[in-house]
Amino acid sequence: MKFAQIIDFKTDRYDDLDRLMDQWVEQTKGKRTATRGLIGKDRSDGSHFVEVVEFASYDEAMANSDLPETNRIFEEMVALCDGMPTFTDLDVVRDEQLNAAIVRRFFHEIAVGGNLDAIDEVFAADYVDHDIIKDEPTVSGAGVIREDVSSWREAFEFTFSLDRQICEGDDVVTLWTWTGTHKGDFMGLAPTGKVCTMTGTTIFRCKDGRIQEGWWHEDALGLMKQLGALD
């Protein structure tokens, strides 16, 4: 079970504390077990901060606490704080990656399911699309998604298998496998009835609950070979 620790503290010397945290990261390189950390500042009290540190498990957190570097840095941290920081230990019972859910909605509900009405809910109106196989590799506007999904659905009966998703900040990277049956005209090719597969990677950048920008890298050459367009 994932584990998170919340550290609540007050300080008027945050810049010094920030440099201290950089020192700890450098000194514990290759040893620390935390998987993610963030610090937030109270908007109503500029001296009040909350740090959230995530670990793969409680045991990993204890291993991190037992590092001599951690103990030393903590003593220096206390010296920079107004009073003793407080700690809250949490077993993570739900971990929802909201941006990943938005991206999955595109693949499952829009692309495969054909719910084009959901495009305006999922994509920003000024969405920017980058696709290396297009004549115009960079296109703006959510309408490009409507056009792309419609043309692919007219040419193929297809599914997406989302093999892996990685979330980093506002970005969601999806490694996928597409499987489609060629039923309609595709890039000048008459329907062949062939079942084809294609692998690819899509990076979507999300903002304010919508997909703002996308980068597509797909094995289009392999798809064309399977359709008999290339030797």
Tell me: the pLDDT tens digits for 198-207? 999 999 999 9
| Per-residue model confidence as pLDDT tens digits over 80-138 | 999 999 999 999 887 778 899 999 999 999 999 999 999 999 999 999 999 988 888 89
| Amino acid 84: pLDDT | 94
Measure the CA–CA gap between 127 and 141, rounded to whole angstroms: 5
pTM: 0.70
Of the candidates 182, 214, 215, which has an alpha carbon nearest to the alpha carbon of residue 198? Answer: 182
Domains and CATH numbers, the chain: 3-91 (3.30.70.100), 98-226 (3.10.450.50)
Measure the CA–CA gap between 107 and 173, rounded to whole angstroms: 13
Residue 73 banded pLDDT, cuts 50, 70, 90: confident
| Per-residue model confidence as pLDDT tens digits over 148-161 | 999 999 999 999 99
| Amino acid 159: pLDDT | 97
| Amino acid 217: pLDDT | 96
> Considering the chain, what is the average pLDDT of its residues?
93
